């Protein structure tokens, strides 16, 4: 069933096309000549909206990375509908044997991370198809990918035996600890493991040393130059968000000048109600807030169902007319109540900014995440798929 359409007075996400393009350009500059930039569209394009971000990413990036086979096929459908040229697309998540067949037929690359790829070989052969595969190496994240021991025991050798149906198009890995630190010693051990395993693969699978490699996500692309290889796989930072404060500090040291990342997303809504409540009134469930004075409140049609974190209760503010307005009491399923006493002159409906800039003030995803004791990656990916999304220039 499709996601029900939001009402006209529901909150909406505004996506800046120019900000997205500027962020891709910033990573082209960081990566340097001869390297490609890939856009990671997982998690509903980091909550920004897969179908809204796809045209932007398709036009600006060299590679598109998705988690599910369905997303990979959706990109091919988009290209067919638009008459657009095919981009390189890689499904970095799990694909069953029959999905590998469907992706091979559509010209979408898949990741091979363990021996389960072998099941696809007879199906591909029966259809006369060849799958383009990227070998995922586990160099220290402990997630998907061949460990060095698995390579030594021959777990990837089936690729050499089934060259008629598998073509190795790339080798990749993923870092465990580049965002939360200013020293990259663990990442360096992963790079060393990657180099060792790449040599093993060259020997065991007879793949050329020129086989494309990709390793760096946003943080490593920014702060660890030897990790950039042939393509950088950039997620969070193409949406204009720094992976962490530590990354920003390190990038300043490594790059000299910080790339001007521009947040792509703003979240705004119109108020449902604006009214005065007298001193002594309680606000919201649990009566956790009591007004010390007469208070002009705005009731906003946004709640935790939409992805506004309930844990931000008692800490958050929103922007109205460029002023910070505290969220009073608890965040509810479909409502927030904010104090607009000093932000407006009357009880006319207001426009509130939940994320993004309004005048001189802004609320970053990092700030909302800090109120909610989580990371901005989680805040943006939890923005409801049902929210209206509009691309603006």
Ligand X SMILES: *Cc1c(COP(=O)(O)O)cnc(C)c1O
Q: Which residue of the set 42, 169, 186, 315 is catalytic?
A: 42
Q: Is 199 an annotated catalytic residue?
A: no
Interface residue with ligand X among 218, 227, 250, 313 (CB under 6 A) is 218
Q: Could you tell me which stretch among 99-107, 214-222, 268-276, 314-322 binds ligand X (CB under 6 A)?
A: 214-222
Q: Could you tell me which stretch among 115-123, 232-240, 255-263, 308-316 binds ligand X (CB under 6 A)?
A: 232-240
d(CA 258, CA 256): 7
Q: Which residue of the set 252, 285, 304, 308 is catalytic?
A: 285
Q: Could you tell me which stretch among 163-171, 212-220, 267-275, 320-328 binds ligand X (CB under 6 A)?
A: 212-220
d(CA 183, CA 323): 38
Number of residues interacting with ligand X: please give it, by CB under 6 A: 13
The candidate with the shortest Cα–Cα distance to 218, out of 226, 210, 228, is 228
Site for ligand X in 277-336 (CB under 6 A): none
Three-state secondary structure string covering the chain: CCCCCCCCCCCEEEEEHHHHHHHHHHHHHHHCCCCEEEEECHHHHHCCCHHHHHHHHHHHCCEEEECCHHHHHHHHHHHHHHCCCCCEEEECCCCCHHHHHHHHHHCCEEEECCHHHHHHHHHHHHHCCCEEEEEEECCCCCCCCECHHHHHCCCCCHHHHCCCCEEEEEEECCCCCCCCCCCCHHHHHHHHHHHHHHHHHHHHHCCCCCCCEECCCHHHHHHCHHHCCCEEEECHHHHCCCCCHHHHHHHHHHHCCCCCCCCCEEEEEECCEEEEECCCCEECHHHCEECCCCEEEEEECCCHHHCCCHHHCCCCEEEECCEEEEECCCCCCCCEEEECCCCCCCCCCCEEEEEEEECCEEECHHHHHHHCCCCHHHHHHCCCCCCEEEEEC
Question: Residue 30 CB, nearest distance to ligand X (Å)?
Answer: 12
Residue among 235 and 263 whose Cβ is closer to ligand X: 235
Question: Residue 176 CB, nearest distance to ligand X (Å)?
Answer: 11
Question: Residue 265 CB, nearest distance to ligand X (Å)?
Answer: 14
Question: Residue 286 CB, nearest distance to ligand X (Å)?
Answer: 36
Q: Could you tell me which stretch among 82-90, 191-199, 233-241, 360-368 binds ligand X (CB under 6 A)?
A: 233-241
Point out the residue whose Cβ comes nearest to ligand X: 235
Residue among 42 and 196 whose Cβ is closer to ligand X: 42
Q: Does 235 bind ligand X (CB under 6 A)?
A: yes
CA–CA distance from 318 to each of 90, 271, 278, 343, 367 (Å)?
A: 38, 12, 22, 11, 11
Question: Residue 138 CB, nearest distance to ligand X (Å)?
Answer: 11
Question: Residue 233 CB, nearest distance to ligand X (Å)?
Answer: 4
Site for ligand X in 166-185 (CB under 6 A): 174
Q: Does 45 bind ligand X (CB under 6 A)?
A: no
- Residue 176 main-chain phi, psi, to 5 deg: -95, -30
Q: Does 92 bind ligand X (CB under 6 A)?
A: yes
Residue among 215 and 308 whose Cβ is closer to ligand X: 215
Q: Does 40 bind ligand X (CB under 6 A)?
A: yes
Q: Is 46 an annotated catalytic residue?
A: no
Q: Does 26 bind ligand X (CB under 6 A)?
A: no
Interface residue with ligand X among 233, 268, 330, 376 (CB under 6 A) is 233
Residue among 72 and 301 whose Cβ is closer to ligand X: 72
Q: Does 217 bind ligand X (CB under 6 A)?
A: yes
Interface residue with ligand X among 49, 140, 240, 243 (CB under 6 A) is 243
d(CA 66, CA 57): 12
Q: Does 234 bind ligand X (CB under 6 A)?
A: yes
Instruction: Give the footprint of ligand X on this chain (CB under 6 A).
Output: 40, 42, 92, 174, 217-219, 233-237, 243
Catalytic residues: 42, 285
């Amino acid at each position: 069933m499709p996601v029900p359409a939001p009402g006209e007075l529901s909150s909406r996400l505004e996506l800046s096309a120019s900000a997205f393009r500027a962020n891709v350009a910033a990573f082209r500059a960081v990566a340097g000549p001869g390297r490609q930039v890939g856009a990671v569209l997982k998690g509903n394009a980091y909550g920004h909206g897969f179908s809204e971000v796809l045209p932007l990413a398709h036009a600006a990036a060299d590679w598109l990375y998705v988690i599910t086979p369905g997303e990979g096929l959706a990109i091919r459908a988009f290209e067919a509908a638009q008459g657009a040229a095919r981009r390189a697309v890689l499904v970095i998540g799990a694909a069953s044997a029959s999905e590998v067949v469907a992706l091979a037929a559509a010209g979408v690359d898949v990741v091979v991370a363990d021996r389960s790829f072998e099941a696809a070989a007879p199906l591909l052969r029966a259809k006369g198809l060849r799958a383009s595969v990227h070998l995922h190496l586990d160099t220290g994240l402990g997630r998907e990918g061949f460990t060095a021991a698995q390579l030594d025991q021959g777990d990837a050798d089936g690729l050499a035996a089934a060259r008629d149906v598998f073509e190795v198009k790339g080798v990749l890995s993923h870092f465990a600890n580049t965002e939360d630190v200013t020293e990259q010693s663990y990442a360096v051990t992963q790079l060393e493991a990657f180099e060792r395993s790449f040599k093993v693969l060259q020997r065991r699978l007879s793949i050329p040393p020129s086989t494309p490699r990709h390793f760096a996500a946003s943080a490593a692309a920014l702060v660890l130059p030897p990790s950039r290889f042939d393509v950088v796989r950039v997620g969070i930072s193409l949406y204009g968000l720094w992976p962490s404060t530590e990354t920003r500090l390190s990038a300043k040291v490594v790059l000299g000048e910080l790339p001007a990342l521009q947040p792509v997303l703003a979240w705004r809504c119109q108020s449902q109600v604006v009214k005065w409540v007298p001193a002594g009134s309680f606000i919201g469930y649990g009566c956790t807030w009591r007004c010390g004075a007469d208070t002009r409140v705005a009731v906003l049609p946004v709640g935790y169902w939409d992805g506004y974190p309930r844990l931000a209760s008692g800490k958050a503010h929103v922007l109205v007319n460029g002023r910070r307005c505290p969220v009073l009491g608890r965040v509810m399923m479909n409502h927030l109540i904010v104090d607009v006493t000093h932000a407006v002159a009357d009880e006319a409906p207001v426009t509130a900014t939940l994320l993004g800039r309004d005048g001189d003030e802004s609320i970053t995803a990092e700030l909302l995440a800090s109120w909610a004791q989580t990371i901005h990656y989680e805040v943006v990916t939890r923005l409801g798929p049902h929210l209206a999304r509009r691309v603006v220039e």
